Structure 1
Amino acid sequence: MDFGKYKETRHLKPLQIPNKEQLLLDVSNIEDSFTGRSDASIANTFIFEASHLIVNALALFELGYFDCAFYSLRQSLEAAMTMMYLYDSEEDVRKKELEKWRTEQHFPMYAGMTKYLESNESEFKDIKSKLSAFFEETEKVKKRLNKYVHKQGFDKLYASRNNPLSRIKGKFDDVEFINEFDGYVVSCIGTVAVMRLAIDPMPVLLNDEEIYARTGDTITYPYSDEFIEKYIGFDAIEKYKRTSMYTQHYDNFMQEEKQNEAVSCVIKDKFVDVRRADEILNQGHLLPQAALLGVIALENIESVTKFYTCGGFMMYFSNRDSLRQKLEWDSRQFNNFLETNPSTNQPFDEVFISAFKLPEGEIFLEHNQEITANDIYNIEHIIGSFENDPHQKFWTLS
């Protein structure tokens, strides 16, 4: 080993976190919970940042940079608090403070942001008052993290903890140290996940089957039961459900029509079970035009296997096999399909594409054999009905 490498690593003691892979998977619950609120899109940046900081903490700890790992955990809490402060304040305050943050002007620290939110009407104030025990534990963890950040105690120093004599004497227990760090990671993941709920309650709402069946294709994924149990606690979630934000959203969604399972799969998973086409079409009014027409085509034309919308960027698949071997496609191809005359029965590797313009977008049907002139006529007839009366439904092509 060269001298430079020796100088860089002699004070480090790499340690392995036994459940690191599971922790990394669990962080995905936060990353996948990004909000669809149009006025809070930048909040997703903070959600990702907090997640990255937790991931970085795990990597740093295993490399031996334990103080940096604890600091990264503390930063994850600060990133989450900044997110809440910027998007849980009054609109005029939010704009002013966001500009300060952008331009690196004087900006409040963690305690200052917390004090402001608690002294003004905010979602965080409501959440914290109902989850007081949860946030008391968070505060304890934050204080312990500060001990490492501010180097308070010999066990917080590389010169002491990783001193060769300390290692020989076994002065500091590595297993205990790993378990302590693991506990802080769990606490930070849970706290960031709860702070995320001050933006909107969708990660918890979507965990409820009744709500899930009444929502569209959201960009937010729900927190899993396992994640809630380990990082937040079902008791804390039940208390969160008493907040005004949650109850208002819940009541609004419960007024929507409940989707049957087959329709929900079309809307959320982009999957059409052709065997259940009748069930889907019974609630066809819940589908966008392209999806509705695609389901009708799948039910009535045996060679249709899937369809695309949004210029080819969105694909709906079915339980019917396609003869096309490739799995990838290029959106530029779909632009050509739409502009070609005629736009039907165009070769697409081993299969065919038929493109149709709709009042709301377009649809590209993929089929194993050419479709007939009668099929094309009937499809265009349905499209015409959309133009004349978007709410009128035609359930067959014949």
Structure 2
Amino acid sequence: MSAFIENIRDAQNKTNKYVHKQGYSSFYTTQRYSWSDHREDKVYLKIVADFEETLKVAIGAVAMYRLAIDPLPVILMDEDMIMRSGDFVTEPYSEEFVDKYIGLKNIELYKQTDIYQEFKESIMSHEKQNEAVFDIIHWQIIDRSKFEDITKQMHLLSYMDRLAVVIMMASTKIPQVYIEGCFHYTSDVKATHSDTVIGASYYEDFFANKGNNNFNVPFKDGSYISRIKINGEFSYIESNGPFDNMEIGVLNHIAKTFEDAYIAQEKQLKSWLEEQKK
């Protein structure tokens, strides 16, 4: 990528001339002229043009330095690869951003590097997610009408994702769920209010004076809040109406099933670790 690096060096040389060779007054010329009556002055316009070009090169340089760490911002620009990826914090670069600050030709050269090719190979080895599962993994949105598609790729979902899906399917009254108070999932059912509170402490305080009442506690704007406990952690379930006894029974069954599965896995892991010590 010699042409890209050379362009950065040219911009550095121009900037060094302004800052180091032309002195203090040149460094502050733009600020001085911006408040004068000489905004159409050719010297001023040249300084502004050089500044904008240097800024553009600097943004491109930082963007490329980011890619030296990992290629995710470019990897995730590819729809086929983003549909195979996990829920990364990284966001993809846009086509417009790449074109303006890095250059499409430079990105194509970058895609030939080992770091990009190795990451691409890793991502492409993963199963491609269908739309319903992608929405859960990346946006924590669960659409009950797509439950059949979700079941086909349930193995791609995390523990939190699976628990949220099962809880949502327990009742169409549920618009959103907070797994362990922190992991927020929404559904195809609209909540009665627009507030979103994430944090176990909020719900712990809310239930502090509710005694042993874990279901159908009045919440916000006509909604209700309930909770189930799995391995010492509560998950909080909003509903647009009170749960009936059957729905409460289903939710309690979910809690027991997940806790039993967790305990079984813990025993299995402990047994395996003991075997490794021998």
TM-score range, shorter chain: 0.7 to 0.9
**TM value normalised by structure 2:** 0.80
Q: Residues 317 and 285 from structure 1, CA distance in 2 versus in 1: closer, same or farther, beyond 3 angstroms?
A: same
Q: Residues 281 and 360 from structure 1, CA distance in 2 versus in 1: closer, same or farther, beyond 3 angstroms?
A: farther
Q: Which letter maps to 2:185? A: Y
**In the alignment, is residue 199 of structure 1 matched against residue 79 of structure 2?**
no
Q: Deviations over 1:104-141 (max 9, x none)?
A: xxxxxxxxxxxxxxxxxxxxxxxxxxx11101101111
Q: What pairs with 1:219-258 in structure 2 (closer than 5 Å)?
A: 219-258=89-128
**In the alignment, is residue 342 of structure 1 matched against residue 213 of structure 2?**
yes
Q: Which letter maps to 1:345? A: N
Q: Distance in 1 between matches of 2:205 and 2:23?
A: 68
Equivalent pair of 1:155/1:172 in contact (CA under 8 Å): no
Q: Distance in 1 between matches of 2:31 and 2:207?
A: 67
Per the alignment, residue 175 of structure 1 pairs with 45
Flag the structure with more relative contact order, 1 or 2, with Cα contacts below 8 A and sequence separation at least 6: 1
Equivalent pair of 1:355/1:363 in contact (CA under 8 Å): yes
Unmatched tracts of structure 2, length 5 or more: 263-278
Q: CA RMSD in A?
A: 3.1
Q: Which letter maps to 1:303? A: K
Q: Deviations over 1:304-350 (max 9, x none)?
A: 11111242x33222231212x35143633312467752322222122
Q: Deviations over 1:160-210 (max 9, x none)?
A: 9969xx977x76443333222111111111110001111111111111112
Per the alignment, residue 98 of structure 1 pairs with none
Per the alignment, residue 48 of structure 1 pairs with none
Q: Deviations over 1:70-110 (max 9, x none)?
A: xxxxxxxxxxxxxxxxxxxxxxxxxxxxxxxxxxxxxxxxx
Per the alignment, residue 245 of structure 2 pairs with 373
Give 1:212 deviation, angstroms.
1.0
**TM value normalised by structure 1:** 0.57
Per the alignment, residue 273 of structure 1 pairs with 143
Q: Distance in 2 between matches of 1:171 and 1:265?
A: 54
Give 1:371 deviation, angstroms.
1.4
Equivalent pair of 1:290/1:358 in contact (CA under 8 Å): no
Tell me the SS of whatever aligns to 1:315.
strand
Per the alignment, residue 327 of structure 1 pairs with 195
Q: Distance in 2 between matches of 1:161 and 1:249?
A: 45
Q: Which letter maps to 1:285? A: H
Q: Distance in 2 between matches of 1:243 and 1:303?
A: 51
Tell me the SS of whatever aligns to 2:90.
coil
Q: Deviations over 1:245-300 (max 9, x none)?
A: 11111111211121111211111112222322221232122222332232233334
Per the alignment, residue 184 of structure 1 pairs with 54
Q: Distance in 1 between matches of 2:248 and 2:233?
A: 18
Q: Residues 145 and 362 from structure 1, CA distance in 2 versus in 1: closer, same or farther, beyond 3 angstroms?
A: farther
Q: Distance in 2 between matches of 1:239 and 1:379?
A: 54
Q: Which letter maps to 2:80? A: E
Q: Distance in 1 between matches of 2:146 and 2:183?
A: 22
Per the alignment, residue 356 of structure 1 pairs with 228
**In the alignment, is residue 297 of structure 1 matched against residue 160 of structure 2?**
no
Q: Residues 203 and 240 from structure 1, CA distance in 2 versus in 1: closer, same or farther, beyond 3 angstroms?
A: same
Q: Distance in 1 between matches of 2:105 and 2:196?
A: 45
Q: Distance in 2 between matches of 1:216 and 1:238?
A: 24
Give 1:389 deviation, angstroms.
4.1
Q: Distance in 1 between matches of 2:88 and 2:233?
A: 19
Q: Distance in 1 between matches of 2:235 and 2:148?
A: 21
